[in-house]
Amino acid sequence: MKHGSERRVIAGGFLLALLLMGGLRLVSYRNAIALIHDTQHVEKTEDDLKALAAISAGLANAESGCLAYLLFGNEADRHRHDHAKAQVDLNLQKVTQSLQPDEDALADLASLQQLLRERRGLADKLLAMATAPASPLSQQASVMAQINANRREIEQVLDRMSARKLATLNREDAQLVEQTRVHLAIEYLGTLAVFALLIGLFWVLDRQLVRRQRVEAERQELAQAKEMGDLKLRFFSMVSHEFRTPLSVILGSAQLLAEKLEGPDPTTAARHLDRIQTSARSLNQLLSDILTLTRAEAGKLELHPTAIDLEEFCLNLVEDLSVATDPPRQIHFQSVSNSAKAEVDEKLLQGLLSNLLSNALKYSEPDTPVSLTLLSSSKCVTFEVSDRGIGIAPEELASLCEPFYRGHNRGWTQGAGLGLAVCKKCVELHHGAIAIQSEVGVGTTVTVTLPSSQPEESSAENQPRRVGPSLTDRL
């Protein structure tokens, strides 16, 4: 589901990036169109200003031609006057076509047209006086005065129209600059957003690729670890089997010899045979602990619960361990129970209690008591193994159940440090709990609590929790 959601995010991100790029292209196109339109409008306003200036220049040129014709009578000056009038009319037509529907502009245009008609009439009247045989100079001077007054009025109208056009041009230039700045900002921000989105998508893709590589590497490591664990399990099973065969022969032969040497006065050979039996049993127990712990670490240790009589089981176990010690030790057994039976794995329970009682016997003096107490109810059973031995320091209690860990005050007592680790695995497989109370120089009490009945899934393959390196890794 997580990978599917990431793929949807990536696909959505690419689609959003495409939409943003398409939107930017559309915005850029519209901005270009608006820029072209505004530029054309500015150019048209500039053309209107040029036309107004051309009207003023044309009027001055026409007036100059008219005066030259009056003074010198040259037809070229008359043609220059007529050509200037035609240019004025043409520029006036341009201004009229581009005029905005504004009251002031329309009033100025009407005034300009009226003044130009008056000027044209005055110019024609002045030219007619020039061709008349006897034209008083006073009349010509009067007409010239009217032409000058008309020119001043025309210049005032042209100045007002030019100022209005110039203000419009400045306003349009400012709007064009502002719109260009806004459009560029939008395009820049949009481009940055697209780049940021693409960078984010590439980051997601890179992270997904790294995660896949890491998962693949972990999968390969797990496969290799499983393969190595299986190899180690097969190796320890083979070693345990190969050791148990000669050990069984040694124990059997030693027992036969011991039976033949029994008598009122034990000989040195008999004592040596007892040592052989004790050492062989210790080695056999060590191999059993290694195999049990290795199977538990590999998840191959299975629970097969059966209903057993706990009191009978404990009595038989106490009797076997009492006579197996050298010299024989007495183990006190006490039962405080309401139910004589419980569903447990008999083989695992025997290894569990054997390890606890063996530790109690090993780390206590021969003349000190060792006890096993059974407390049973309809829901759980509790085993308490107590001794008055050397005890354990409080700071070491948390590490006692780790493989190969031994207390610092163990002295010369031999051991491999696997007993409590095997006990913990057996307890976990039964879904129980183990607690240790100890005081240095006073003694130790180990309490094991197991449920009276096991759930159905307990008989299936069990995967125990692992804390720290496994036994096979330590070996």
What is the rounded end-to-end Cα distance, in angstroms, of the chain?
A: 40
Confidence of residue 239 (pLDDT cuts 50, 70, 90): low
Mean pLDDT of the chain: 78
> If you search the block for the tokens 């692992």, which residue do you land on?
466
Query: Which tokens belong to 386?
Result: 């107590």
Bridging pattern class, strands 331-337 and 370-376: parallel
The better pLDDT of the pair 317, 78 is held by 317
In terms of Cα–Cα distance, which of 386, 378, 283 is closest to 338?
378
Q: For residues 442 and 468, what is the distance between their CA atoms, to the nearest angstrom? A: 31
Give residue 43's pLDDT: 80
CATH classification for the domain delimited by 1-130+140-205, as one of 1.20.120.1730, 3.40.50.880, 3.30.1280.10, 3.40.190.10: 1.20.120.1730
- Name the residue with higher pLDDT: 81 or 258: 81
Long-range contacts, stretch 323-330, CB < 8 angstroms, 24+ apart: 324/278, 324/281, 325/361, 326/274, 326/275, 326/278, 327/366, 329/361, 329/366, 329/370, 330/369, 330/370
pLDDT at residue 385, rounded to an integer: 95
| pLDDT the model gives residue 472 | 39
Vertex 377: Cα angle to 374 and 379 (nearest 5): 125
Residue showing tokens 């051309």: 54
pLDDT of residue 448: 94
- The tens digit of pLDDT for each residue in 91-109 reads 888 888 877 667 778 888 8
Token pair listed for 116: 């130009």
pLDDT beyond 90 at 166: no
pLDDT of residue 262: 62
Assess whether pLDDT exceeds 90 at residue 231: no
Whether the CB-CB separation of 328 and 278 falls below 8 Å is answered with no
- Structure confidence at residue 415 (pLDDT): 61
Lowest mean pLDDT among 156-165, 208-217, 261-270, 307-316: 261-270
The pLDDT value given to residue 28: 77
Which residues, 6 or more positions from 127, have their beta carbon under 8 angstroms from its beta carbon?
66, 69, 70, 78, 81
- Which residue is it, tokens 């024989």? 328
Q: 3-state DSSP call for residue 433? A: strand
Supply the DSSP string of 68-109, one letter for each residue.
Answer: HHHHH--HHHHHHHHHHHHHHHHHHHHHHHT--S-HHHHHHH
* Best CA proximity match to 119, nearest among 48, 66, 54, 51: 66
Unique residue bearing structure tokens 């300009």: 112
pLDDT tens readout for residues 14-64? 777 788 778 777 877 777 787 787 777 778 878 888 888 888 888 888 888
Rounded to whole angstroms, the Cα distance separating 169 from 164 reads 9
Indicate the residue type of 13: G
Q: pTM for the complete prediction?
A: 0.45
Instruction: List pLDDT tens digits, range 135-163.
Output: 677 777 888 888 888 888 988 988 888 88
| pLDDT of 396 | 83
Tokens of 440: 């240095």
Is residue 193 predicted with pLDDT exceeding 60? yes
Nearest to 351 by CA among 282, 429, 423, 428: 423
d(CA 169, CA 167): 5
In 3-state terms, what secondary structure has residue 376? strand
Cα distance between residue 286 and residue 411, in whole Å: 20
The mean per-residue pLDDT over the stretch 176-195 comes to 82
- Per-residue pLDDT tens over the stretch 325-345: 767 788 999 988 766 788 899
Residue 292 one-letter amino acid: T
- 313-331 average pLDDT score: 84
Measured distance CA(60)–CA(123) in Å, rounded: 12
- Distance between CA atoms of 196 and 198, rounded to whole angstroms? 5
User: Count of CB atoms within 10 A of residue 113's CB?
Assistant: 13
Instruction: Name the residue with higher pLDDT: 236 or 189.
Output: 189
441 pLDDT exceeds 60? Answer: yes
Whole-number percent of the chain with pLDDT over 90 = 9
**Domain locations in the chain as residue ranges:** 1-130+140-205, 306-451
Q: What is the pLDDT of residue 248?
A: 72
CA neighbours closer than 13 Å in the CB half-sphere of residue 434:
20
- Cβ-contact 363, 471 below 8 angstroms: no
Query: Given a cut of 80, is residue 348 above it in pLDDT?
Result: yes
* CATH numeric code, 306-451: 3.30.565.10
What gap in Å lies between CA 164 and CA 100, rounded to an integer?
A: 11
More confident residue, 235 or 354: 354
Is the fold of 1-130+140-205 the same as that of 306-451?
no
**269 or 382, which is more confident?**
382
CA distance 383 to 78: 140
* Residue 383 scores a pLDDT above 90: yes
Identify whether the C-beta of residue 392 lies closer than 8 Å to the C-beta of residue 436: yes
**What is the structure's pLDDT at 107?**
86
Is the confidence at residue 462, as pLDDT, over 50? no
Determine the average pLDDT of the residues in 225-252. 67
Q: How confident is the model at residue 465 (pLDDT cuts 50, 70, 90)?
A: very low
The answer to whether residues 295 and 366 touch, using CB atoms and an 8 Å cutoff, is no
Q: What pLDDT band is residue 77 in, cutting at 50, 70 and 90?
A: confident
pLDDT at site 323: 77
Residue 241 reports pLDDT greater than 80: no
Strands 433-439, 306-309: pairing is: unpaired
Kindly report which listed range (183-192, 305-314, 421-430, 446-455) carries the lowest average pLDDT score: 183-192
